[in-house]
Amino acid sequence: MKLLLATLFLSLAVFILGLYLLRPVSPTPAKISFVITKDESATSVIRKLKAQKLIRSSLVAKIYLRLSAWEKFIQPGGYVLSPSLSTPELLRQLKVGPKDIWVTLPEGWRREQIAARMAESLSGPNSNFDSEKFMTLTASLEGQLFPDTYLISQTISAPEAISILTSNFTRKSGLDLAQKYSLLIVASLVEREANQDQDRPLIAGILLKRLEAGWPLQVDASVQYASDTIRCRNQLLTCDWWQPVADTRIPSVYNTYLSPGLPPSPIANPGLAAITAVLTPQTSPYWYYLTDPDGVTHYAESLSEHNSNIDKYLRL
């Protein structure tokens, strides 16, 4: 009987302690920014909640989360939390979803692809993002919409989104566009042409050497850009971009097979690796390159060697 009473007393004490540890840390309704990264574990989230003094006990929070079966429903993004909320209230907010969300913009995308990704990600009931306005305002900003993973408000407008992307470009690229706009154009070509990081400096060196020698650049990606601009003009946000093109005679100032020199503007938005490659190109004896179906780049010093590579790697 004594053992039973002791067990009941202990259980009651644990229950009361648990209720206490689930209570708010403070009655003060302070606002604290809290960020959950993509693929962050529930354990890490709880550890951060404790470190920021938003919960009383990591162990009790972990037990509550497991009992409520919410572990797999915590959503990444940015939150504004308060120590005046109880642990269940905090965890419920993390389950409902963030005020800010993560949006990833890959390297080498056109601005139309960026507009589509933003429109898709910001499609909630409170969205203020206007994809048509984004397209209008970025007409001269191709190449400067920096590819990265962004934490942005779900109520962001098109001008605000553009400001974030272009400011990030300025900060990370360090390019003085008044002096080096042509290098940004080359970087966009390199981004689309190179599959591997180690190829970017080599391809950058080849393109710059051909440009200096007055040779046509003959960049396939420029033909894709020209072709897609025509093919997708009535489906800007839904088109399947960057399709292979067999005909290199498409009439366009962006077609570097027909038009000498550089295209008039970037064909995509390059990442930092491509920009760095153009700023520090690798010198080589090569004048030609091609990429085989497996994504491996093959280089050649002469046209005959290049034609041999075409026969060997592309005409299977």
Write down which residue in 172, 205, 232 finishes a domain.
172
What are the tens digits of pLDDT across the range 94-152? 887 777 888 999 999 999 999 999 999 998 777 899 999 999 999 999 999 999 999 89
Angle at 197 between CA 191 and CA 198, to 5 degrees: 120
Could you list the residue range(s) of the whole structural domain that residue 214 is in?
Answer: 175-313
What CATH number is attached to the domain comprising 146?
A: 3.30.1490
Same domain, 201 and 122: no
Per-residue pLDDT at 5: 47
Q: How many domains are contained in the chain?
A: 3
Within-domain flag for 13: no
Within-domain flag for 22: no
Q: What is the mean pLDDT of residues 72-86?
A: 83
CA dihedral in degrees (190, 192, 196, 198; nearest 10)? Answer: 0
Write down which residue in 129, 151, 172 finishes a domain.
172
Within-domain flag for 56: yes
Within-domain flag for 7: no
Same domain, 298 and 237: yes
What are the tens digits of pLDDT across the range 256-311? 999 999 999 999 999 999 999 999 999 999 999 999 999 999 999 999 999 999 99
Same domain, 163 and 180: no
Write down which residue in 80, 98, 116 finishes a domain.
98
What CATH number is attached to the domain comprising 43?
A: 3.30.1490.480
pTM: 0.79
What are the tens digits of pLDDT across the range 38-74? 888 888 988 998 999 888 888 888 888 888 888 788 8
